[in-house]
Amino acid sequence: MAEKKDNLKAEKSGVNIRDFWLHLWTLIVPFHGQIFGVLVLIIFAEIVKLSGPYFLKLIIDNLMAFDATRIKEILIFIALMFASNEAGSLLSYVIDGKMFQILGGINEYIPHQALQKLLSLPLGYHEKENTGNKVVKITRGVDKIDSLLGNLSWEVVPTIFQIIFTAAVLLFLDWRFFLILLFFIPIFVFLTLKVNKEVYPYRRKRFMSQDESAGVMAQAIININTVKSFVQEKKESTKFQKIISQVKDNIWLEFSRIIKYNVKRNFVIDVGRAFILVAGFFLVWKNSMSIGSLVFVYTISEKALLSLFRISRIYDRVMESSEAIERIYSLSLEESEIKNAKNGFKPKNIDGQIEFKNVTFSYSDSTQKALNKVNFSINAGCMTALVGPSGGGKTTVARMVYRHYDPTKGDVLLDGKKLQEYDLYAFRKFIAIVPQEVEIFNTSVKDNIAYAKSNASFQEVQAAARIANAEEFITQLKGGYETLVGERGIKLSGGQRQRIGIARAILANPRILIFDEATSSLDSYSEKLIQEAMDKIVKGRTVIVIAHRLSTIKKADKIVVLEKGKVIEEGSHFELAQVSGGLYQKLIKLQEVGDVD
């Protein structure tokens, strides 16, 4: 409810211009020096460009009072006019070159910064944010910044200085022309500000709909197997069509208002132009101004008035860019809830002793406690299994070990130190996980296995694949280890993806190894191969196995039974199987009769 009120308030208030420019300026910090350099060149170029019409005035005045003695003078003025035009052209060439360098740098810098920010944010952020929305937020923001800075350098900034210098020249020549310009410019600016305030709510809705449509499209493509399997192509297409229809409606509502105001803005320029001509005609008639001066005044004021209209159109685009730029700026302000300790401890090696001390944790979107005052230890070099009903807190424990989340209360200790005391990236290098759904990249089998160790030799990759019982299927692929596996490993079976995940974990050579439901969704043959692979690699490591199938954990040194976020039983398979009425005993009996898989 509070979020809706904030959105309504934002829609009514429109864009805060000052904040918008400050945010844009903040996003391009490394380029400030280069931009100031271009700004100086633009000022100099606009002064040079004003000299051309002035030399034209002198030529016309000399022609109006022509005699043979002035031919040399006229030719000099023509040469000077040519030189000023060429100097302006040369300056434009230099400015264009420097601006393309700046825009190229920004196109590299901002996406890289945005990706770094996204990668640094905790798992909780990515679980809340739609993938399509995140990608669109970056790409649209970069496109708008690129377009906006280009327009500023080639249109807006030169025109602003052109108007300032024109006003100064008109004031020097005749204050009446200055007053005409001074009268019409504020009216024009008022209309421009008014139209953008009116269209802002439609613009904002359009961006929200576009983000939503990108999210829907991304989800449909990412989950294409499910879409096709359940014959839901029409449903996804209809859902997308409905959202982009809203985009179309908001575009019309937005731009219909802009084009109506364009008529009014054109009228202001036409009236201003007429006033300048009437005033000039009157002054020439009264012999208070030469014809050359009138041509000079009309030429520079015409440029200023036309440039003013061009600025208004660009300002419309600036305001249209504001929402996208604000979003990428908001991303830059996002802070990770998981803070990496300054001068955190960077271990050269770890034993792998893990302890949960009175740990309580709740996910931000849930009122229930995922873990509630949990106390247990995972012994170094031993296998500890976590079992219990779904939602009991097993995966949350694994996330706590990785420090993807921090406890709300209590502490998770590694070798007697709180995880918060370690350098985040240093201790994570000693941990590897094989999840239920192994995440596969759209690259080769070899690169997927070597993901955690990119400098691994082919022999190392091959050795890891053999231990994981993966080489059996890899050699049967058309390209062997160089076979491209498709997005999310779509060309591989579930068992094959799992074995690549195990090979990846083996190659990382972790001290702590986590198997999170690694065999739960596999057929018996794949499960057997993976179980064999697990047996080969667990020796001498701290192993955490999260499992529903109790057959996979009988060999565990310790079994921790979790239910509703609490540890309710702890012991070996033999010990827990003897506990009359215990949850573990119930799970064994249910699996024996086939009620639990």
Distance CA 407, CA 109 (A): 35
Above 60 in pLDDT, residue 4? Answer: no
Question: Residue 84 pLDDT more than 80?
Answer: yes
Q: Tens digits of per-residue pLDDT, 261-282?
A: 878 888 887 888 788 888 888 8
pLDDT grade, residue 360 (50/70/90)?
very high
Q: Give the predicted TM-score (pTM) of the model.
A: 0.63
- The answer to whether 11 and 200 are in contact (CB under 8 A) is yes
* Entry field: residues in the chain: 597
Would you say the C-alpha torsion 336, 342, 347, 350 has a positive or negative sign? negative
Tokens of 445: 């089998």
Highest mean pLDDT among 47-51, 168-172, 405-409: 405-409
> How many Å is the Cα radius of gyration of the chain?
35
pLDDT at 64: 73
Poorest-pLDDT segment among 83-97, 208-222, 315-329, 382-396: 315-329
In the predicted model, what is the mean pLDDT of the chain?
79
Higher pLDDT, 413 or 436: 413
Per-residue pLDDT tens digits for 226-241:
677 667 888 888 888 8
At residue 313, the pLDDT reads 66
Tokens (6 digits) for 134: 């995140």
CA 589 to chain centre: 50
pLDDT at 500: 87
- Sequence-distant (6+) residues with CB within 8 A of 437 are 497
pLDDT band at 124 (very low <50, low <70, confident <90, very high): low
Arithmetic mean of pLDDT, 521-528: 64
Tell me what percent of the residues of the chain surpass a pLDDT of 90.
6
Confidence of residue 13 (pLDDT cuts 50, 70, 90): very low
- Provide the β-strand partners of residue 378: 354
Model confidence at 5, pLDDT cuts 50, 70, 90, reads very low
Mapping DSSP to helix (H, G, I), strand (E, B) and coil, where does residue 338 land?
coil
The two structure tokens encoding residue 250: 């908001």
pLDDT at 412 > cutoff 60: yes
**Is the pLDDT reported for residue 223 higher than 50?**
yes
